[in-house]
Structure 1
Amino acid sequence: MSTTLGKSTGRRPAGRWRTVDLVTSAVLGVAFGVVFWGWHFAYSALDPLFALFPPVAGLVSGVWLLPAVVGALVVRRPGAALLTELVAASVEALLGTQWSAGVLVSGAVQGLGVEIAVALFLWRRWTLAVAVLAGAVAAAAESVYEWSAYWAAWSWDWKLVYAGFFVVSGVLVAGLGGWALVRALARSGALSAFAAGHEHRTRG
């Protein structure tokens, strides 16, 4: 299986948004926001496990990074990761979550983490490696934010272990998982208006 979604094709500048880009970012964000709301219950069910060793929560935290990675890989515009993640966080907050409006700050941090990763390649390269890097950077950024926002009482050993676990989850769940999800959407024809869909058709 190919590990690339390809480089951005076409002559349109990377920063120029189309209506379909905005709509798709919003739709993806809403869909992931509902997923977040459901994931909240599964996450809460793991509280007994977290009580044994709290930093292990980082291993399942990559889910929160998926909207930003998927939004970036699909829309391929500066700000797509941030917009998709913020919409998802807003929907999650509206539906109700134990973190209340704090999810909006997390959404901004996570989205910016992915933006930093894809900006290194000027929004022109969309390989599995870039997706994995995006998940790792977003996880690292969110970990640092959470050290003071949620885990201020932890020792530095716990904080660093949590960050390491979170980065692993960011790589596997958000990076690899997000890339695989975009590939699946491209195969289904749902991304026919985007470069990812075009690349799948030309390879097929």
Structure 2
Amino acid sequence: MTTQRNFRWRVVDIVVASVIGVASGVVFLIWNLASNVVSGPLKAILPGLEALGGGFWLFAGVLTAIVIRKPGAALYGELLAATVSALVGNQWGWWTLISGLTQGLGAELVFALFLYSNWRLVPTLIAGAAAGLAMAITDLTLWYQASDTAFAVVYTVSGIVSGLVIAGLLSWYAARALARTGALNRFAAGRETRAAV
């Protein structure tokens, strides 16, 4: 017997997704400043490696999705975080919303391919990597149009790795840590974590 999945958003889904999105936006603001310290040395080692830090702008969508587990959650979380970053002010202005949109869509498409039914580690890692790929494509299109092939390849691979590790793996552990506190008791993510302990 198959159980019917309910993809309708509850009020609690909207509230928690919004909290995650806004909190992630604050992290984005901090990383907007800190990234300059990290990207300089990486760029000096090999141009394009600076994308290794990009995962700190990618995790909002993945984390929101694996907590809420509803269609649109990855897109909502990433776009809301990008909106917070743009509203407060950053060096990219409103172009940040384009990045939030494409990065959120990258993660969203992976969860859609899994029919919003597999929330284990592997799909989460793939979603993070897809967000990293989306970041690289967007950045190369908007900011690095004149870059050579070597830079584009290094930047893209670095973005994918960063997305996989930071947006994928760290979001996975962050969701499990949140669940252990009891904050996700009204979500399947919280119930599953408690049952596994």
Q: 1:175 aligns with which of 168, 179, 187?
A: 168
Instruction: Give the partner amino acid of 2:20.
Output: L
The alpha-carbon deviation at position 152 of structure 1 amounts to 0.8
1:122 and 2:121 equivalent? no
Q: 2:98 aligns with which of 79, 102, 105?
A: 105
Q: Which string of whole-angstrom CA distances, capped at 9 and with x for unpartnered residues, describes residues 14-44 of structure 1?
A: x211001111111101001011101111112
Q: 1:190 aligns with which of 175, 180, 183?
A: 183
The alpha-carbon deviation at position 10 of structure 1 amounts to 6.6
Q: Which string of whole-angstrom CA distances, capped at 9 and with x for unpartnered residues, describes residues 83-138 of structure 1?
A: 01111001001111111111100000010001100011110111100100001111
Paired with 1:133 and 1:111, the residues of 2 have a C-alpha distance of 13
Which residue in the other structure is 2:17 paired with?
Answer: 25
Instruction: Give the partner amino acid of 1:17.
Output: W
The alpha-carbon deviation at position 51 of structure 1 amounts to 4.7
The alpha-carbon deviation at position 186 of structure 1 amounts to 0.6
Paired with 1:122 and 1:147, the residues of 2 have a C-alpha distance of 30
Which residue in the other structure is 2:152 paired with?
Answer: 159
Output aligned runs, 1:32-181, within 5 Å. Answer: 32-52=24-44, 53-181=46-174
Name structure 2 gaps, 5 residues minimum: none
- Structure with the larger RCO, 1 or 2 (CA within 8 Å, 6+ apart): 1
Root-mean-square deviation (Å): 1.5
Paired with 1:173 and 1:165, the residues of 2 have a C-alpha distance of 12
Call closer, same or farther: CA 1:18–1:159 in 2, change over 3 Å. Answer: same
Identity of aligned residues (%): 44
Paired with 2:129 and 2:38, the residues of 1 have a C-alpha distance of 23
Paired with 1:17 and 1:95, the residues of 2 have a C-alpha distance of 28
The 8 Å contact of residues 40 and 50 in structure 2, kept in 1 or not, is answered as no
**TM-score where L is the length of structure 2:** 0.94
**TM-score where L is the length of structure 1:** 0.91
Paired with 2:180 and 2:170, the residues of 1 have a C-alpha distance of 15
Paired with 1:83 and 1:77, the residues of 2 have a C-alpha distance of 10
Count of residues paired in the alignment: 195
Name structure 1 gaps, 5 residues minimum: 1-8
